[in-house]
Amino acid sequence: MRGLKGLLEANPKLRVFIYAGKGGLGKTTLSAATSVKLSSMGKKTLVFSTDPQASLSDVFEQNVFGKGEVKLAENLYVMEIDADKKINEYVSSIKKKIIDMYKLDKLPPDIEEYIDSAAAEPAMYESAVYDAMVDVVSEGKYDYYVFDMPPFGHGIRMIAIADVISKWVDKITELRKQAYEYGRVAASLKRQKVTYEDEILNELEYIRGRILKFRDIIMNTETTAFMMVMTPERMIILDTEKALEMFQSLGLKLTGIVVNQVYPPELAKKPDAPLYLRKKVEEQRRYMAEIAEKFGKYVVAVTPMLNREPKGLDTLRLVAEELWSPSKKLEDYI
């Protein structure tokens, strides 16, 4: 295992680290630990959560939710977006554009109801996340960006939906262009001037541009490391196999896997270790052998199960060191 250190040495242009995987496997902890390590090296780093269930606030033991970019230590910044707030701002901007475009005093009730209903759709959440992600990376203020992605369902849908939405916007944009062209020709025949700009077309182009930017960030293997988090458990191994198949079908290349929450194998040899713990270690060893066989080429690091919750900077530094330069080989866990 080369650890994050080896990964960066082999890919010096990496600037974005994305941690994906099911909920409860430690994505938030590993994202936080990665940011702690990179910032400790003098690199200005932002760790960013797009998971509605995650809590960087909890891991860092400081409330950062919805407060924008918050500095936690030298070179270490954290941002936990309030997706609901961002959606409300987006909906308000759409309503204002329609009112301004058609010079209305207020929106017709049925239009307003339609927009409010659309805001409750899951796609609106993804859209808010795209915007936030693209915004922070495009600004280029940081040396490194670390993203704690939503659990598999959201994460994979975010990637898949980018392609679906992009094609949909392409189609709508083409229809709008045709309608605009017909309108322009009709106005010309009537010797009228088209003096308005097609605001809807501009809006669609803007949305499409944001989606393509999001895909560029995710798919660029030169600058982005797409990492998956797993634990040595039967169901997680099966889920990871399925996820890899889905990633491949989407054209997404996995950079590496971090196996988290692994008990040190030497625990099983301690005579005073509780029986349940020795059995757990033996069970994990079997699954670690399966992980090595199926995903060995992807495993970048194995991070240990700690005897306390991985919260606070001091504890995160322990995780970060093992993540950065693993103290054991993968074979040592089998």
Cβ neighbourhood burial of 221 (10 Å; 0-12, 13-18, 19+): middle
Q: What is the pLDDT of residue 330?
A: 92
DSSP string, 239-277: HHHHHHHHHHHTTPPP-EEEEEEEPPGGGGG-TTS-HHH
Phi-psi region of 128 (alpha: psi -120 to 50; beta: other; left: phi over 0): alpha
- Where is pLDDT greater, at 51 or 323? 323
**Banded model confidence at residue 284, pLDDT cuts 50, 70, 90:** very high
Q: What angle do the packed helices 199-219 and 152-189 form, to 10 degrees?
A: 150
In this structure, of 1-5, 93-97, 190-194, the range with the lowest mean pLDDT score is: 190-194
**Alpha carbons 313 and 194: distance in angstroms, whole number:** 61
**pLDDT at residue 104, rounded to an integer:** 78
pLDDT score of 151: 64
Average pLDDT, the chain: 83
Q: How confident is the model at residue 323 (pLDDT cuts 50, 70, 90)?
A: very high
Residue 179 has a pLDDT of 66
Instruction: Please say if the pLDDT value at position 264 is more than 60.
Output: yes
pLDDT score at 71 = 96
Q: What does the pLDDT read at residue 85? A: 79
CA distance 120 to 274: 49
pLDDT tens for 179-220 read 666 666 666 666 555 544 456 667 667 777 777 787 788 889
Each residue's pLDDT tens digit, 38-54: 999 999 999 998 666 65
Handedness of CA 120, 122, 123, 129 (dihedral sign): positive
Comparison of pLDDT for 185 and 139, the residue scoring more: 139
Q: Which residues have C-beta within 8 Å of that of residue 307, sequence separation ≥ 6? A: none
Q: What is the pLDDT of residue 196?
A: 47
pLDDT at residue 277, as a whole number: 87
- pLDDT confidence tier of residue 82, bands split at 50, 70 and 90: confident
Question: Which residues pair with residue 80 across a beta bridge?
Answer: 49, 65
With beta carbons less than 8 A apart as the criterion, state whether 11 and 222 touch.
yes
